[in-house]
Homo-oligomer: A and B are copies of this chain.
């Protein structure tokens, strides 16, 4: 018997996770290490038991369920996503990939199939970074969380290790969360969180790379003054300068440049209708799947900033944060996803992921790939986040087929083992 996704079970479980929320439906709020997170983790352990899988919560809070492989020495094929949401998020971001990973285990169990590799389903903790720095779970797996981070005070005034301990985790055993054996492959299934698949009516996205990201802050200091009595030529208007820089940032995106460039935050002081702005602080966010493009964009922004300073008599500080480098998906896994979709009669589209994901963190230790399904209207991080049921089922079918194919494609003694 060939393993099959149980559509009803998949959809019911997505609904069951969505109901474990600190906010009224349809919004879902399930922050890492909270009571809601713990309740969801317990449900995953229960589902794992029903699928005959060994399951545990690791020291930092990743929920892991594993079906052993026919060959005992092989590193696992890993699939999963994150269990936490943003405040007032949707039912699919993270949860969909988690439920699908557990569904893969269940379908293999139902069909009595054992792959050569172990299959490891993971529900990563704190991907969103609402409670602490993002990607805590996946970073812990590859050794990128240290004791200093655990001792750091978080937004609610407690240290991260206090938060973890109170949630029943074992932060003192941090390093036992690492996977010294790595993984044979990592495949994450996720909603696109953007409008590309939905608007082009393609059901499957094959992620080529998780884009690099350069965030930063711009602070503009002009001179606050009376809006009625200060002649235009004698102004140092921080908001007019900021307006030029908002448009300059937008212009950093385009062919041969960044994919996207955004100013989402802008704060004006003193912020009164009859007072010329004396100070503006604003964000910028530049993303590209191609190395060096965000660096070039920051250089260009620096030049535009100098122009604005000299023409407007303002002072501008440009403060880029440490960039996140783009991470390319493994070409073999990309091909395998594309072939799996095709075998299931589903059209697919190669595309970068503009958002960061746990699988790109794991790329340090393992080849990774990523499958997208359409987000209706491109909406995410909102209660109205949705994907048609058929597309959710199709995505899980592609994931299952892809993992089964990878199990044979990735050969003993290959580069990745």
| Interface, chain A (partner B; CB < 8 A) | 192-196, 199, 211, 213, 215, 225-232, 234, 237, 239-240, 242-244, 246-247, 250, 253-254, 259-268, 270-277, 283-285, 287, 353-356, 378-381
Q: Name the B residues within 8 Å of A272 (CB-CB).
A: 264-265
Most buried by B among A196, A240, A242: A240
Q: Give the docked Cα–Cα distance between A227 and B250 (Å).
A: 11
Most buried by B among A199, A226, A261, A267: A226
Q: Name the B residues within 8 Å of A244 (CB-CB).
A: 243, 247
Q: Is the CB of B226 within 8 A of A193?
A: yes
Are A226 and B355 also in contact (CB < 8 A) when A247-B244, A253-B232, A260-B232 are? yes
Are A225 and B379 also in contact (CB < 8 A) when A231-B194, A237-B250, A243-B246 are? yes
Q: Is the CB of B264 within 8 A of A239?
A: yes
Q: Name the B residues within 8 Å of A194 (CB-CB).
A: 225-226, 228-231
Q: Give the docked Cα–Cα distance between A125 and B177 (Å).
A: 70
Q: Is the CB of A228 within 8 A of B287?
A: yes
Q: Which of B196, B243, B265 is the one whose CB lies under 8 Å from A273?
A: B265
Q: Name the B residues within 8 Å of A277 (CB-CB).
A: 263-264
Q: Name the B residues within 8 Å of A270 (CB-CB).
A: 264
| Nearest CB in chain B: distance from A155 CB, A | 15
Q: Name the B residues within 8 Å of A380 (CB-CB).
A: 226, 229
Copies in the complex: 2
Q: Which of B243, B261, B274 is the one whose CB lies under 8 Å from A243?
A: B243
| Nearest CB in chain B: distance from A81 CB, A | 15
Q: Which of B254, B273, B284 is the one whose CB lies under 8 Å from A283?
A: B273
Closest to A382 in B: B224
Q: Which of B275, B283, B356, B378 is the one whose CB lies under 8 Å from A225?
A: B378
List the 10 shortest-distance A-B pairs measured between CB atoms, nearest first: A194-B229, A228-B354, A273-B283, A243-B246, A227-B262, A243-B243, A229-B354, A228-B355, A193-B229, A264-B275
Q: Name the B residues within 8 Å of A242 (CB-CB).
A: 243, 246
Q: Name the B residues within 8 Å of A239 (CB-CB).
A: 246, 263-264, 266
Can you spell out 12 A-B residue pairs with CB atoms less than 8 angstroms apart? Answer: A193-B229, A194-B225, A194-B226, A195-B229, A225-B379, A227-B262, A230-B378, A232-B259, A239-B266, A265-B272, A274-B285, A275-B381
| Nearest CB in chain B: distance from A185 CB, A | 24
Q: Is the CB of A240 within 8 A of B230?
A: no
Closest to A381 in B: B226
Q: Name the B residues within 8 Å of A192 (CB-CB).
A: 229
Q: Name the B residues within 8 Å of A268 (CB-CB).
A: 264-267
Q: Give the docked Cα–Cα distance between A275 and B378 (Å).
A: 13
Q: Is the CB of B262 within 8 A of A274?
A: yes
Q: Name the B residues within 8 Å of A237 (CB-CB).
A: 250, 262
| Nearest CB in chain B: distance from A341 CB, A | 20
Q: Name the B residues within 8 Å of A250 (CB-CB).
A: 232, 237, 240, 243
| Nearest CB in chain B: distance from A291 CB, A | 17
Q: Is the CB of B247 within 8 A of A243?
A: yes
Q: Is the CB of A276 within 8 A of B247?
A: no
Closest to A321 in B: B273
Q: Name the B residues within 8 Å of A228 (CB-CB).
A: 193-194, 211, 213, 260, 285, 287, 353-356
